[in-house]
Amino acid sequence: MKGLIELHGEVEREVYLDSENSGLIFPEALEELMKAYSESGYANPSITHKAGWKSYEVLYRASEEFSRILNASPVELAYTHGATEANNLAILGSAKANKTGRRKIITSSIEHLSVIFPAERLQEQGYRVTKIPVDGEGFVIRDQLEKETDDHTFLVSIGAVNHEIGVVQDLKELVEVVKDRDPSILFHTDMADALGRMRINLKELNVDLASFSSHKVYGPKGAGLLYVREGVNLEPVIHGQLSSQRLWPGVENIPAIAGFVKAAEAMDKLDKIRLVKLRDRLIDGITSQVEDIVLNGPRGSGRAPDNVNISFLYVEGEALIVELSMRGIYASSGSACTSRILQPSHVLLAIGRRYEEAHGSLLMKVTPFHDEEDIDYVLRHIPQGVARLRSLSPIKRKEVK
């Protein structure tokens, strides 16, 4: 690994655009994490001594603040160690507590794999999983959801903001479609990529379950949150020593939670217009300089303020990632080659991209830590990198057309 890193050599600047896969955290979140580790939150919050109570206090304050940001109650919040765990708890935990006899789960074709995989796991227990298709920009087709929501439906899980293509669903409308049909059908939404990017009002939204992730709001890794509306029945899916909360046993990661809530606060106060400007500077800059590209996901307000996802035809995404890495730019791709299962992104295929378009995709997320100079640096290097890789290829534009 050392050799690989040394081979990169000197670059003019480094621009980290891969917060989809984790990344930097707010300095104030790091400060809170350190403070909790050294002073206020190092003990186990379930234990009855002063140090434990101090930890519990940190946990409780975090829940109060999350309740304010999300419009929920502290008792409705269960901490996990990430959104993958929160999504698993939502789906497997509600199925475990399911006494309705209904066995149909509805989700969408572009959900995060931490939603799709646990749902599919339940097929072993007699559940049926229906994936609602999306249109070419990634919007869930409302009428299809209405058609599929029936007397057998037990749970609907549709994410608020897609992690790959940034499409912002009209969640309020989708929840209404389901709840109008039958208010007892559970509605879960993965909000890992929505938190901090849009106003969230869980009570008004009328969802039953919602998942959140710390590192997606530039908080510490190792903290997640599941909102469980009061009155919704859930069973734990892992078992062990009882902690201060019922649904996710094990020692709470108090320092990470302290950093998580600080990051969520910072995101809450953040100027989203600034992010949108950086996003569009990046999209427009690429669009005007590079030919044969496709923007994945919608433009404008239907797109998360931080998401840029573009397919470069005749370029393989993993090669592009390595090429950009040499230039100090770090991003990711929906190419098969970047995944261990060698399958291209299911999200890109679901919005109708061809395999070669999915392989050539580049996912970049602008963050509060970037400025215009960073984006302009990226805009200088992407056209060069793409041109170099295209020059290596046996397929030239005119041959394909």
Binding site for other proteins (CB under 8 A): 1, 3-4, 6-7, 314-319, 322-323, 326, 335-337, 340, 342, 344, 349, 354-356, 359-360, 392-395, 400
What is the nearest approach in angstroms of other proteins to the Cβ of residue 377?
19
337 is catalytic: yes
Nearest to 335 by CA among 352, 316, 363: 316
Cβ closest to other proteins, residue 104 vs residue 390: 390
CA distance linking residue 69 with residue 269, whole number of Å:
10
Those residues whose C-beta lies under 8 Å from the C-beta of residue 223, and which sit 6 or more positions away, are 79, 80, 81, 82, 213, 214, 215, 253, 256, 257, 259, 260
Minimal distance, residue 119 CB to other proteins, in Å: 21
CB of 120 to other proteins, least distance (A): 19
Residue closer to other proteins, measured from CB, 75 or 337: 337
In angstroms, give the least distance from the CB of 397 to other proteins: 12
Of 101 and 394, which has the nearer Cβ to other proteins?
394
Length of the chain: 401
Cα 32 to its chain centre, rounded Å, is 23
Q: What is the CA radius of gyration of the chain?
A: 22
Give the nearest distance from C-beta 129 to other proteins in angstroms.
Answer: 19
Closer CB to other proteins, 69 or 319, in the complex: 319
Given the residues 242, 322, 326, 337, select the one marked as catalytic: 337
Would you tell me how many other CB atoms lie within 10 Å of the CB of residue 113? 13
Q: What number of other Cβ atoms are within 10 A of residue 194's Cβ?
A: 24
What values do phi and psi take at 190, rounded to 5? -85, 110
Per-residue CA distances from 183 to 150, 169, 176, 206 (Å): 12, 20, 9, 10
CB of 130: closest distance to other proteins in angstroms? 18
Residue whose C-alpha is closest to residue 302's, from 139, 191, 136: 139
Distance of CA 236 to the CA centre of its chain: 23
Q: Which is nearer to other proteins, 54 or 353 (CB)?
A: 353
Q: Which amino acid is at 55?
A: S
Q: What is the dihedral of CA 328, 331, 337, 343, to 10 degrees?
A: 180
Residue closer to other proteins (CB basis): 22 or 38: 22
Work out the end-to-end distance of the chain between its first and last CA atoms, rounded to an integer number of angstroms. Answer: 40
Residues that are catalytic: 337
